[in-house]
Structures are given as C-alpha cells and as structure tokens.
Structure 1
Amino acid sequence: MNLLSALNLLWLIPLCGGIIALWMLRLKRQDVTVSSLYLWRDVLAPTQSNAPLQKLRRHLLLFLQLLAAFLLIFALARPFVYGQAGAGGAIVVIVDSSASMNATDVQPSRLAAAKEAAKNYLDREMRLGDVATVIAATAKPSTSLSFTTDRGRVKQAIDDIAPTDTIADMPGALALAQSLIGNGNGARVKIFSDGAFGPDAQQRLSAITLGGADVSMQTIGAKSADNVAITAMDGRRDPVSGEYEVFVNVENLGGRPHEGTTLTLLRDGRVIDSRSLTFAGGSQSETFTGPDLTQGGLITARLDGLKDDLDRDDTASLALATPRKRRVLLVSSGNLFLERGLNIDPDVVLEEVAPSEFTASGKGGAGYDLVVFDAFLPKGALKPGNYLLFNALGPQSTFTSAGAPSEEATQIIDQDRTHPLMRYVDLSGLALAKSPTLQLALWAESLAETQAGPLVAAGEHDGARVVGVGFDLGDSDWPLRVSFPIFLTNCVNWLTSTGGLGPASPDSIAGTVVSLTTPPGLSSVKITRPDGKSDWVSAPPDGGVALFDQADEVGVYQADAGASYHHPFAVNLLNKYVSTLTPESHPELTRAPSGAPVKPLHLQPVRSEYWTAIAAAALVFLLLEWLVFHRRV
C-alpha cells in the first residue's frame, strides 16, 4: 500500500484530538436552588462524568466518530497499490478535425459529434487495464497523450482537439497509430471521420497493414448535406493588356437551389464588383478584369446571401504582387515548346542561347532572374540562383540517372496538388513514350511520380533554388496540354520570388508550408493569424525564404518585421472533394483482427487507487453514528 498524499494524514491529529477533547469537556450547567435533593438523586449521578479532564470512558458513539474521521483522512491521503497490465489491450482513437468536419449538417458540428461519439466509445469499450491514446487527424497528424489507463485524461485529450481548415492526412494518422501499437495484436483502432481524405488517399490507406489490430470507422455526417463553395480562384496577367485577370469558379455541391446568392470581389477590403449566381449546370465561372486589378493587391472573392452547411469555403483570397519584369535565360539547342510557353507570361523578358555560348561566356547566368536548362547542365556546381531544368540530369540537378530508360510507355500516377508549383496543374493521364529511371536527390522534394519513381521535383541546395523535370518533353504529350504553360508560369513565379518581398505565391492551401521572401537584416518575422493570434518564424540573416508551417486556418495572414516589411498572404481551402461534404464509409478501413494469439506489447506499471471506496465507508460509519445517537435520545 502506498500513499499519494501522505502528508494529509497529519490532519488526524487535530481532528481526532478535537473529538476526544469534546468528549472530555464538562458540560456547563446552571446552578438552581431547590428545597430538597430527594427527588434529584437519580439525576446527580451522571454529573460526576462531567468533571473536567476525567478519565475517558469507552463509548460506541466515540468509537464510530473516531473511525469515520480516520477513514476520511485516510481517503485524503489517496492510498494506492501498484500492479502490472499488458498494453495488448491498446485503444487508439483517431478523430478527424479537418475542414469538412466543421460542417453543421450534424449539430452543432461534425467535429463535436465525432468527439461525443469517441467518448461514448471509450465508456463502452475501455476496460480495466486497457490503455488508450488519441490522434488528431489533420494535414499533420499528431498525438498529445501517451498511452494511459486514465479514461478521464483520454476524454480530455479528445475535448482538446481543435478544428482546422486542413485536409485530413488519414494515411499519415494510421501510420502514426501503427508506430504506437507495433504488431497490433489485441489493439483496437477506432476512427471517427466523414471520410473526406482526398482522391489520392485510398491507395495509401490500403498499404498500411496495422498488424493484427481491430480497425473500424464510424462515419460522421448527414447524406443530405448542402454546400456551395468557391472551388477555384486564380489571378494571371493578360499578355496583351498587362492587367490582372481574376478567375473564380463557384459550385453548388448540394443540389438545392440557392437563389439570391451573389459573388462579390474586393480589392484591399473595398468592393469592386458583384455578380449574381444562377448555378446553371451546378457551377458558374466568372472572370474579373478592369483598371482596379492593374496593380494587383489583396483580392478577395466572397459569397453573399448564402446559407449552407460549411462556411470555410465561402471566401477565398489572392495576394497579387505588383507586376515586375523578370529576365529569363533559356539555354537550349532549340525547343519551341519552352520558348512559346515562357513567352506567354507578359512579365518575362526571354533571351535564348545555345549550350556552347553559355559555356563560352563563363557568366553562369549572372544578371538573370531565372536560367532554364534544356537537356544540358554546365560542369561543376550551380552558382547561387534560380534554375528550371528539363531532362538535365546530374549531381547538380534534382535527378541523377539510375539506369537506361525503359522503352515501355508510362503515365503519371500521383502528384502533390498542394505545392505552389502544381497549382492548377493536372497531370492525370499524362503519357510518356519512355519510362526514365531516375534517382531523386536527397535535398529535393518529389512533386509528381510514375510507377517507376519521381519525375518532377523541387528543392534548394547550396544557394541554388532548382525545379527539375526528369524527361524529354518530346517523349510526352505535355506541351499540348493546358497544364504545361500553367506549370511554366508557376515555376517563374515561385523561382523568382526571391527578387521581391512577401509571399512566394498568390495563395497557399490550408495545411501546407507558406514561403515568405525576406530581405537581409531580419532575424524573425511576426505572423498574425486571421483570429488575431501571433506566431514568429526565423528569417535568414542574409535574406532569403522564411517558412511558416502553421497555416491551418483559411483567411488572410499578416507578415510583419518592422516598418519596411508588411505583407499579407492568403490561405484558402479550394478543394472540391472536401467541399462536397458527402460522407464516405471507406470499407478498406474496416479490418477484423488477425487470428494470432493476443500478446501484450509490453507490461507497464498500473496504479490502482482506493480513496473512493474508503470515503464511502466513512460516510457509512457517519450514518451509523447518527442512528445510534438518535436511538439513545
């Protein structure tokens, strides 16, 4: 037997001492003169016990009072014993707190309903000796609680899960659960979600085995959810007029009529246009132009007169930079696709040289905002700068050759749709006549992949910012697709963002990393969120890119660092899959436990407390004392 609060036993001294003192004190009686003591003899005998500090007599009431006092103080000391319990009965509760879980088709929200369902599940399924933990499924799944037998702590961790506007990385949440439960024998994984994991999640979900764990999912949400959403927004410079064109696409994803809904466009908080929406065919696209958009600014699209089940996708914003010219050098033996694609951007001043001329000049791209290499790489390391590489393999590139390319045709099977370079770039179905065999550089991030491996990547290394495409454009149909000039424009904007200050792209998707270009001399940048809370991020002392990875709320953020650095940046949802709100059950997530025998993952000490039982016993003795006293009276 051990005590958590042994010092509380000291309360026995004053409490029991006080009870005994009360029993020993003489009762104060009033003196009254009478004519005779004959009739009072039977009354005089008990008065002798009232003499001060007489010997204490044994009495049932005294015993009951002392026993009740001891039990109450002993309960305050919180006695407990140690035991051992196997973590084979592990429970992992996964609660989806992504953007779609903010929908109000289930009152007060899907997230609140998921939390309540998770706590009810623990009340039913968590037995004595079981251990449990909680994972919040967001763009970056995490857990704030180690395995514990304390059901109250687990419920509190569930209540502490905050809503976000990100897209749930459920494969990542399951991978985290797998790392916690090991082989999974005897473990239970319970998921509470509406199933909006994105179109690319199913294959990754099937690849996670979770050993012999019992996996199941409770779907949250109503099938009749109603939502109207801004699913796309972009701003591009018109190559003729030089003015910005802002494109906004709105979709009615619930099917119910929404008469009276208007799309309002604002620049720096001021309304510049408003248009009625009819949703013919379920969607409506609007393009905005005019002198108010010439110099860019903070552009916001807003749905007015609308009442639906999700408000996170009713607004979207773009931080359009002030137009500036960018000098781009194309090093190629002749590539009409690249030449025409780069010239579409009115801010690009393009010059073209042959590889031999580039080598002979010895300038290495000095004086240019961006250098594009086509099937060529100079010898030695790339100088600090910005580079776009097409079919240029080597140690300076994002790719090196890992063997001869296969003559079999292949297709793009996966892409990172959240990276600024892949903004509105759809590579699905992109065909390649040959399948290159490439090795991704350790410092590069894959953006698009075939079954053979990465094919498009980006990264920074030794002061060089590099985007690499690992195949010959002539071996694909990409130059004939709309996504090709969009990709080139994204590359120019992303790579040359170091020439100006502020956000590296017009907007970012909630849950992704935001890049901010900073001048020399700054040590940190203050980020003010849409809700008014502040964060600080480190900035390179010599200038460069500061990264902010806590953009989990849609809206306009402010980046500040002194009087000379004040830039807004926008974070949007813009995801039709999430905004659809139709719950998905994901049968691939329902897995029965394997037939292997249940073995504890490990034994851990378990503390069992008895203060509640002892306190209840004290109350019983107090009741008994009350009954004995009143029977005597």
Structure 2
Amino acid sequence: MTFLAPVAGIIGAALAVPALLLLYFLKLRRRPLRVSSVLLWEQAARDLQVNVPLRMIRWSWVLLLQLLALACLLVALARPAVPGAGPAGSRIIILIDCSASMRATDGGIGPAGAPRTRLDLARERALELIDSLGRTGSSRARAMVIALDASPRALTRFTSNLGELREAVRAIAPTDQPDDLAAAMRLVEAMTAEADGEETDDPAVVYLISDGGHAALSPQDRRGVLVRHVYAGPARGADADPRADNLGIVAISAQRDPDDPALVRVFARIQNAGPQEVSIAARCTLDGRVPEGGIRAVAVPAASAAPGGTIEPGEAGVHFTIRQTDPGIEQVVVVDLNREDLLAADDAAALVLPPVWRPRVLLVAPDSDAPPRPDVFLIQALEATEPATIRILGATEYAAGVATALQTGGDARRVPWRGFDLVVLDRVGPEVWPQAPTLSFGVPPTADGVELTGGPEPGGRPVARVIAWRRNHPALRYVSLDTLIVAPGAALRMPAESHADRAGRAAKFTELVDGTIGPLLIEIEHDTDAQDGAERVMRRIAAAFALERSNWGPDVSFPVFIANAVERLTESSGPSRLAWSIDTGARLPVVAPAAARSVIARTGTANLERVFAVSPTASDVATGLVGPLDRVGVWRLVGATQGAVEPGVVAANLVSPRESLIAVRPRAALGPGARADTLGEGLAADGRGRGGEREVWHWFVLAALGLMSIEWFVYAWRMRA
C-alpha cells in the first residue's frame, strides 16, 4: 500500500496526536466544596493527589479507542492506495481500436453461440477499465473515450460520469478502415490541452485497447502523455504462432486494351497471413456477372514467422482478361477470393470501370470563302483520333457567338465552345480566346501574352528549321521532327515576365520545339477550379506556323502528334479513363444538383446509409466531400433532392497489407522505451509513471467511525458504573 498524500498525514498527526494526549495530561479543574468528613470517601484521598498542574496518564480503554480512531483518520488523510487495482492519473483517455483488424472473428464464442470479434473483447476491456475507475474513490479522476480508425474521433469529453463513458464504449461500431494512431495522439494532445484549462502535475494517461497490430509510435507521436497498451485479442501463449488464417486482397487495378477498349485486364495482389499455403479459385465479376475468363486458380504461399514476432506474409498475383459487351456504359468490376477466413473485409475488392470516353472537338477555320475550309491534313488527323464529334465553325460565326455571350453579361452558357472538350484554331486568332483546352496553328495565344515573330534564319534563308524538341513530352512521343521546314520562317515570343489570364491565373510556359529563329511549338498551362472543387490544369498548345506553310501535314509524324496532343489536352476534361476506387479511409469530391444540401451514400451489401453535406457554388451546382466510407463495398450516391450526383457509384476497398495481416501483439509496439500493460500490472509506457492505484481512504474513515462508536459505548458504560 502506498500513500498519495503522505505529507498531509504527517502534518495532521503532528497536530492531532499531541492535542489528544494533552487533554489527558492536564488536571481536572474542580469546584471547592466543604464536607463534614472524608472517611467515608475513599476516592477523595486520590483526588487530592491530582491537585497539581500535570499528571501522568493512566491506562484507559477510552484513550486507546480514541487514539485508534484518530490514527484511522490520519491514514485516510494521507490517501492510501492499493497499487495495480485501477487506472492511474487524474486524466484518463480510453482509446479503443475499431479498425479493420479488430473485426477478426478469433475472440472466442459469445453467449449466443456466434463468434466474437476482437472489438467485442476491446469493449469488455474498456468496461472493466471504467468499472475499476469507479472503485478508485478519487473524485479528481476524469476520463474520455476515443474511437481509433482512419479518422479518430472523441466520443465524450473528459467526464467523471461513468454511465456516459459506458454508453460511449457500447456505441462504438466496427469499421473496415486502417488505423491512424499518430492522428489519434494529435487528437489526445488537443483534448488534454482543452480540458477546462486546468493545470495538473499528473500527465494524461492513454489506455490503448487494441490487438497490437498498429504501427509503432515515435516519442514525438506520444505527445508527452503516458501510453499503456491493454491487449484485446485471442488468448495466446508466449511461444504461440503469431500467424493467423487470413487471405486478403491488398492491391487491385484494371485497364483497357489500347487497341480494343472492350477488352479489360484486371490484376489483383493477394496476401496470405496464415501458416499454410492456400489454393483458391479467385473470381472476377462484371456487374455481378462472371464473364468468360472470370475464374482463375491461384496458390498463395504461406507467411513466414521471423524471430522477434514479425511476420513476412506470402503473396501471389492473379490476372483476369475479360470483355465488356458494351464498353460505352459504366460497370463495376469485383474480384472475390471466394473463401471464408477470420477477416471478411479484405476478401473482395471492387473497381468502377468508366465508359470509353471520346472528346468533343470544335474546329474553328477561316471562312472568307463560305463554308469554312480547315486544312485537309488537320481534319483527317483529327478524324483519325475517333472523337465523339467534330464541329467545324467559321471565324465569323465564332466571333458572333462570343459577342452574343458578352451582350448577355458574359453568360457562360452562350459561348461557342460550351459543350466541347477541345477547341482547334486553324489560322484563326480570335479576340476572345476560349476558356477551354486549345490547339492552335499559325496564331499566337494573345490571351497569354504570346506574340508571333518572323524573319529569315541565320544565313539569310527565309525558312525556319528544327534545332531540338522535347522527345519525352507526352505531346511529342514517337514524333520525329528532323525534316520539318517552315517557310516563311515564324516563331513565338513568350512574355519575359509571368503572365496571368483574365481570371488572374498565372500561366506556365514550356517550349516544346526550338527552331532556328525561335520557339516553333509551345505549351501553356493554367490551374483551374473544377466544379467539384478540385484543382485541374487547362492547357494550350500553340504552333507558330500554319500547316499550309510547312511540310509537316503530309509527314507520318503529324497524325501521331495530333493523337498525342488530343490526349494531352483533354486528359483532365472528361471522366477518369482508368478504373478507380477509394480506400475506406479516403474522401472523394462530388458534384450534386444546386438544390441539394446533402448526398446520401447507400450500400446494398450491408444495408448501410451515410449522409454527407454539400454546399452550393456559383456554378449552379453543389459540391462537397464524401467519406470516409467506413465499410467496404459498392456505394451508390444520390442527392437528398431530385438530380444525379457525379460520381454516382463509389467502390470502397480496404487494400491494407498491415490490416490484412491481422497480427496480434500482446506487447504492442508503442515506440522506443514503451512498455505494455494489462489492467492489473500498471506499467507506464515510458517506465516512469506509477501503475494504476485504487484509493482506499474511505475504508479507514469507516473504521474511524466504528471505533468512535465503540468508544462512546465504553465511556457511557464507565459513567454508569
């Protein structure tokens, strides 16, 4: 037993014990009384002996009982405590791991006969901790509950209300997210700093209740608090095999064949955390249907257990080649391991496969002779890229459309380039350049401060030749410009200082082709804000010469350049070209109808629903972030009002090698100098702090009250006698 306030007990004893004894040392003050004789009063002779200032103390049961009662009160004043019987500290944080690994069903069998998860064990440990907190007898101790997953959150503030703490623990739901212990420690730091502004010498104590599978904490992550680990996992001996029976998909991707977009290749990486090699028949489905080639046999090697308790999982890859019947629609690809094990969250992974997307092209050409006549090599090269549509517009009609938009207050719905993903300017230099990706020939992008220059090359020849070009640039891949000649020579002059467009966005200039008299081809990039709030890049590619004044049009490299340029300029205009998904701990920007104030996410596999707020913007839409989605599966997004949400389907996957390992570490990795703890051992994480101690001063107070009651009866009995 230890004393939490020994000084107070010593001071109390120094004052109270002498005061009590002094009462027995002092003589009794008596009133003089005349009597006829003292022969019949035997006690009178003794009384005469006490008529002195002080006297020796005589044996008395009353004095003994009073001293014992006083001793009990003084011990209670010193705050006695029993070590290892409860949580330590006046500020206690109960941090409960509810990440994906805590859903592993190896916690034994529950009362209803169903397997218990590690999270069930963690709740029990937390409730035991709260019960022990209630037995400490300390009115200063306060606690709070934090749920640990990808986005740690406080479920209560610091409180001494044990009922509130118990309800918060019981309300913790399982998730399919990885844990972020460093973020949880940052939250702990913020909550302890905010706790009523009280100053205390006791550091905050964090009880981390988990299976120990989290990443190690650095001393900086511990944020000056004591961290203790309370193990919540299957009971295993010190020499038990740490490996667990679990297969999980830890990576997934898919891409279309460049020559046959209907052909889709899907790849998945499978991890084995168990001690045995496992052979399975993996399955790939397309909108719930198993296509031809959708089942593959794969053998995943066993995990190896290294000295020190570390596990090296076995891994294997599986590849599917499937064909879409209609590549023009969005579909969901799911890879399923088709096997039951300890953790179900990583047994399947999904991807959203967007439809084959082709850009819409607006070609603006001179129209001095109606109808407009674009360069024949240019139109043929554009048609070879197989765009969704090509509309040819004359320079006069383009200018009229811009003028109409300006007359209506700059209405963006009336501009000529609305509805197009790429604008191609063939020898047409408009006064108002389109706010869209642009490819121009023979005209400088004056909106970006670029000027056109010309003149003979050194030596007096009125032509321009190529000196060098950026062979690794996406627009010039597989393009050879050794034989390109421009006559008469022309070049582009970029602004000497940084230039901003009308919207105030700074431009980045890149010289793609350098000629004998200056740049022949340049790229200009602007950062723009998309409707979903994400930053995207709008690009322009400008050639200093018209095709009719060069020998590039009939060259074999020109169609290759056009295909590269169309892909480069439109890569951020349309939807994603690749199959995509998000992690369960990630957030996704969405665009909803302007009238919507929230977006609802629903998944049919687990019958779950989540609601996320969106805000209206100046673009007649509402934007916001969806996520984190706490469970794996395919989620459908709908607006709270009528109207579609983009994207409408989201695939959320775990794909976390650490969580799929479902490793258990009764002595968790809390960083250098850290130590594990159980509810009874009371070991501080850094080895300095005192263990959990249950105060027992109230028992000594009750004992003092009992002794005082006995003393009263003894005194009354003596007086009666």
Q: TM-score range by the shorter chain?
A: 0.5 to 0.7
SS at structure 2 position matched to 1:206: coil
**1:557 touches 1:568 (CA, 8 Å); kept in 2?**
yes
Is 1:302 the counterpart of 2:339? The answer is no
**CA–CA distance in structure 2, aligned partners of residues 459 and 553 of structure 1:** 33
Equivalent residue for 1:155?
A: 166
**2:592 touches 2:643 (CA, 8 Å); kept in 1?**
no
| Aligned mate of 2:669, from 586, 590, 594 | 586
**CA–CA distance in structure 1, aligned partners of residues 214 and 508 of structure 2:** 33
Compute the displacement of 1:216 (Å).
1.2
**1:494 touches 1:505 (CA, 8 Å); kept in 2?**
no
Q: What is the TM-score of this pair, normalised by structure 1?
A: 0.53
CA deviations over 1:227-277 (Å, ceiling 9, x no partner): 101111122222222233222222222232334x32111222222222222
**1:388 touches 1:466 (CA, 8 Å); kept in 2?**
no
| Aligned mate of 2:614, from 531, 534, 538 | 538
**1:504 touches 1:517 (CA, 8 Å); kept in 2?**
no
Unaligned runs of 5+ in 2: 1-87, 109-115, 194-199, 235-241, 302-313, 363-384, 390-420, 440-447, 449-472, 476-493, 512-526, 538-566, 676-683, 692-701, 703-721
Equivalent residue for 1:472?
A: none
**CA–CA distance in structure 1, aligned partners of residues 145 and 577 of structure 2:** 35
**CA–CA distance in structure 2, aligned partners of residues 239 and 271 of structure 1:** 23
CA separation of 1:134/1:564 partners in 2, compared to 1, >3 Å: closer, same or farther?
Answer: closer
Is 1:363 the counterpart of 2:433? The answer is yes
Is 1:97 the counterpart of 2:95? The answer is no
Is 1:569 the counterpart of 2:650? The answer is yes
Amino acid at match of 1:538: V
| Aligned mate of 1:276, from 297, 315, 326 | 297
**CA–CA distance in structure 1, aligned partners of residues 507 and 269 of structure 2:** 30
**2:422 touches 2:437 (CA, 8 Å); kept in 1?**
no
**1:265 touches 1:301 (CA, 8 Å); kept in 2?**
yes
Equivalent residue for 1:58?
A: none
Is 1:210 the counterpart of 2:229? The answer is no
Equivalent residue for 1:622?
A: none
CA deviations over 1:1-52 (Å, ceiling 9, x no partner): xxxxxxxxxxxxxxxxxxxxxxxxxxxxxxxxxxxxxxxxxxxxxxxxxxxx
Residue pairs, 1:13-32, within 5 angstroms: none
More deviation, 159-168/587-596: 587-596
Is 1:192 the counterpart of 2:232? The answer is no
**CA–CA distance in structure 2, aligned partners of residues 492 and 109 of structure 1:** 51
Equivalent residue for 2:580?
A: 506
CA separation of 1:505/1:303 partners in 2, compared to 1, >3 Å: closer, same or farther?
Answer: closer
CA deviations over 1:343-388 (Å, ceiling 9, x no partner): xx999999999xxx9999973652469x999999962258599x99
Compute the displacement of 1:165 (Å).
1.1
Q: What is the TM-score of this pair, normalised by structure 2?
A: 0.47
Equivalent residue for 1:631?
A: none
Residue pairs, 1:364-379, within 5 angstroms: 366-367=436-437, 379=499
**CA–CA distance in structure 2, aligned partners of residues 193 and 299 of structure 1:** 34
Equivalent residue for 2:277?
A: 257
**1:168 touches 1:196 (CA, 8 Å); kept in 2?**
no
Equivalent residue for 1:286?
A: 319
**1:92 touches 1:135 (CA, 8 Å); kept in 2?**
yes
Amino acid at match of 2:126: A
**CA–CA distance in structure 1, aligned partners of residues 341 and 631 of structure 2:** 19
SS at structure 1 position matched to 2:290: strand
Amino acid at match of 2:208: I
**CA–CA distance in structure 1, aligned partners of residues 572 and 507 of structure 2:** 8
**CA–CA distance in structure 1, aligned partners of residues 142 and 577 of structure 2:** 45
**1:278 touches 1:284 (CA, 8 Å); kept in 2?**
no
CA deviations over 1:439-458 (Å, ceiling 9, x no partner): xxxxxxxxxxxxxxxxxxx9
| Aligned mate of 1:553, from 612, 631, 637 | 631
CA separation of 1:308/1:359 partners in 2, compared to 1, >3 Å: closer, same or farther?
Answer: farther
Compute the displacement of 1:134 (Å).
0.7
Compute the displacement of 1:163 (Å).
0.8
SS at structure 1 position matched to 2:500: coil
SS at structure 2 position matched to 1:289: strand
Aligned length: 400
SS at structure 2 position matched to 1:533: strand
Q: Higher Cα Rg: structure 1 or 2?
A: 2
CA separation of 1:512/1:384 partners in 2, compared to 1, >3 Å: closer, same or farther?
Answer: farther
Equivalent residue for 1:233?
A: 252
Amino acid at match of 2:145: V
Compute the displacement of 1:324 (Å).
0.8
Compute the displacement of 1:511 (Å).
2.0
Equivalent residue for 1:466?
A: 535
Compute the displacement of 1:465 (Å).
4.3
CA deviations over 1:512-536 (Å, ceiling 9, x no partner): 1122244666554332244243525
Compute the displacement of 1:574 (Å).
1.1
**2:356 touches 2:577 (CA, 8 Å); kept in 1?**
no
Amino acid at match of 1:258: V
Is 1:178 the counterpart of 2:259? The answer is no
**CA–CA distance in structure 1, aligned partners of residues 428 and 231 of structure 2:** 60
**CA–CA distance in structure 2, aligned partners of residues 322 and 560 of structure 1:** 20
**CA–CA distance in structure 1, aligned partners of residues 150 and 288 of structure 2:** 30
Is 1:315 the counterpart of 2:384? The answer is no
Greater helix content: 1
Equivalent residue for 2:177?
A: 166
**CA–CA distance in structure 2, aligned partners of residues 220 and 388 of structure 1:** 56
**CA–CA distance in structure 1, aligned partners of residues 529 and 501 of structure 2:** 13
Compute the displacement of 1:570 (Å).
1.0
CA deviations over 1:300-325 (Å, ceiling 9, x no partner): 11121x12110001111112111112
**CA–CA distance in structure 2, aligned partners of residues 233 and 346 of structure 1:** 30
**2:100 touches 2:659 (CA, 8 Å); kept in 1?**
yes
**CA–CA distance in structure 2, aligned partners of residues 544 and 347 of structure 1:** 30
CA separation of 1:347/1:220 partners in 2, compared to 1, >3 Å: closer, same or farther?
Answer: farther
**CA–CA distance in structure 1, aligned partners of residues 623 and 171 of structure 2:** 33
Compute the displacement of 1:555 (Å).
0.8
CA separation of 1:299/1:149 partners in 2, compared to 1, >3 Å: closer, same or farther?
Answer: same
**2:94 touches 2:126 (CA, 8 Å); kept in 1?**
yes
CA deviations over 1:579-614 (Å, ceiling 9, x no partner): 11113521315465697999xxxxxxxxxxxxxx9x
Equivalent residue for 1:607?
A: none
| Aligned mate of 1:118, from 123, 126, 132 | 126
More deviation, 508-517/543-552: 543-552
Residue pairs, 1:57-96, within 5 angstroms: 89-96=90-97
Compute the displacement of 1:491 (Å).
11
**2:500 touches 2:507 (CA, 8 Å); kept in 1?**
no
Compute the displacement of 1:391 (Å).
9.9
Unaligned runs of 5+ in 1: 1-86, 330-344, 393-457, 469-489, 599-612, 614-633
**1:247 touches 1:285 (CA, 8 Å); kept in 2?**
yes
CA deviations over 1:540-589 (Å, ceiling 9, x no partner): 36136432124111111111247762722211111112111113521315
**CA–CA distance in structure 2, aligned partners of residues 491 and 96 of structure 1:** 45
CA deviations over 1:117-147 (Å, ceiling 9, x no partner): 1222333355222111111112111112122
Superposed CA RMSD in Å reads 4.9
**CA–CA distance in structure 2, aligned partners of residues 251 and 262 of structure 1:** 15
CA separation of 1:209/1:253 partners in 2, compared to 1, >3 Å: closer, same or farther?
Answer: closer
**CA–CA distance in structure 2, aligned partners of residues 313 and 154 of structure 1:** 32
Amino acid at match of 1:193: S
CA deviations over 1:395-424 (Å, ceiling 9, x no partner): xxxxxxxxxxxxxxxxxxxxxxxxxxxxxx
